Amino acid sequence: MLICYALEDRSHWFIIAFAFACLLASFYGFLQGAWPFGLIELIWSLVAARRWMRVIQLKA
C-alpha cells in the first residue's frame, strides 16, 4: 500500500492499486473487529478510487 501511494505520480495504475490495497485493509480491519480502522481504510479506498476516475477522465 505504501509503495503504491509513493508511486501514484508515475502511473494511474498505482492509484487504483492503492485503492484496492485500502479496500483489502478495510476488509481485514472489519474481520478482526477493528471497525474504526476498517471504516477509515474504506474511506481512503473511496477517495483513491475517485481520484483514479478523475485522472482517467483527464487522460481521455
**Tens digits of residue pLDDT in 9-60:** 999 999 999 999 999 999 999 999 999 999 999 999 999 999 999 999 998 7
Say how many domains are in the chain.
Answer: 1
**Is the separation of the CB atoms in 59 and 15 below 8 Å?**
no
Residue 29 to residue 14: CA distance in whole angstroms: 22
Q: Where are the alpha helices (DSSP H) in 1-60?
A: 2-6, 12-32, 35-59
Domain that holds residue 28: 2-6+15-59
- Residue 11: what are its φ and ψ, rounded to 5°? -160, 150
The structure's pTM equals 0.90
- Residue 30 vs residues 23, 39, 41, 42, 56: alpha-carbon distances, Å: 11, 8, 10, 10, 30
Q: In the structure, what pLDDT confidence band is assigned to residue 1 with cuts at 50, 70 and 90?
A: confident
